Structure 1
């Protein structure tokens, strides 16, 4: 079928809005007519490093829309269902079986090769491959092929522009707090980076009643939003000594921290600012190696924990997030700005420079 997609030709070129051919759904595939798609920094990062030989490509991994058709073997969803799309997993490896599918043994194969596992592409243009299957969806398009494992059915009354970011960014930040760190009321949580992921962590902490929530970000507007969303204090790292400021606010240091920046200097600040036996969740991916004061970690009994996708099972966690939003405890509308799909370049630029915290493109 003919669809419209935003083709990526690399970081230094604009997206190309073009007509491409999308396969009819195979037996295990779900055809989704997309209505909204969030832009995540992972999209921007992958756009910059995506192999030239796998271009053009269709990225996008925070899609939301309506199921248009399903393959013969699909049972969990049906045409007409409103859905959020998330990451794909195999469902059979030890991690999937243990309830932690975000650490699926086949995660890369299923989410980041540009192809189905059998080496075919879901899209073509003039007979040539268009690479996709990004996070089992490639949702920078009017339609996407997804799978039962990465489709979450939601209510037909849910605003899809609010629902779209739940599949990755919101899930990552909120899940790091609710599923991994699980701070109590008397805990102190410091969030490094007040973008979409970091502010989702702030909102989740506030929703559970954490008494001390600190947001660290160099951008004044983001610190203001963090305070509006529940941060009890904010720190400007360009002015304040971050570690000293955190200790002044918390007494013994932070019992919990979330780093969204993947910046080595910031991560070291986070580790140093932890209280004894404190835990840091790393949710950003950046420099592969950073120097670390091992003595500080060991001597303080500190824990550094990597977290992918908020350690969340989307079919369980997305409904929890929607319930929080419905009761006003996850006010995502305060961080989302919508754009027309044709304005995806503007949306991506606004995401990259921080003009917009969470851009969402409307495909219809």
Structure 2
């Protein structure tokens, strides 16, 4: 049995700041950050867009602790946003527009804007990043190899960005598509060792694709700060319950990968282009239709593949005490749908995009 204490867990959530009158992005990040209480501000980070706020829970030991931190940080950020005249919205991509794309007055942000040109001026996107601690970097590399076949299904669980410029894109996660304009993003390559991983990162830096390892945006990567795996495929979730569910499933997938590694079971190695196609399909349709099973190379009903994923990681969920939460959470998702479905249904019912965004902001703050 894996030592549960070694599988610490944390999440980073990114939020949009919206103008309550128009729904467009509002560039008041620095005002909001200044109003956050010390315990939350210390874990925040200034992003490239001045209309986003990011909070991080730090490492937790169980899901109750994680949930408490997420709730506390969201409430604090929503209050600070309100004081700054904005809505805090857990939504994966800019739904209306971003009139002001001036980067924050920081040397790093200015350098990024100069290096990447118009790509760096794209409207803001917001993700959910899940960090799971592992014993060492060598194991972290192997875990990333094993995770590849399940990451499209994990992505499909959190589609929460169907809108762009006020219009339905037809995608569950437009954020996933928009991010592909950046270099250094996509499926994680297969690596034989940590030195192989590090050598590739150095080659990308030499090529000028990124300034440093922090800019690396593979769908699963090694944490630059400590022995941990970061899964970065998900849109930010409107509901706290979905955030906690996603974190539980990612940790279980990492624990399952560690068990496979120690048992000598090798990972599947689908072609990179097929893996990219599986992610496109997950971003396009979410849980509504089919997903590509990378182990078999064929399409399967989305919920059939998700159910199989749950079966594979159930021993790890049972060991961490999270199995009932995962089963209940997936049952709820199957009934009510993901964030993209909620946005579409609410927009259709109200006929008013601003009204939908107002309700989304209320749900964000709990």
Q: Give the TM-score normalised by structure 2.
A: 0.29
Question: Structure 1 or 2: larger helix share?
Answer: 2
Greater relative CO (CA pairs within 8 A, separation 6+): 2
Q: Under a length normalisation based on structure 1, what TM-score does the superposition of the two structures give?
A: 0.29
| Higher-strand-fraction structure | 1
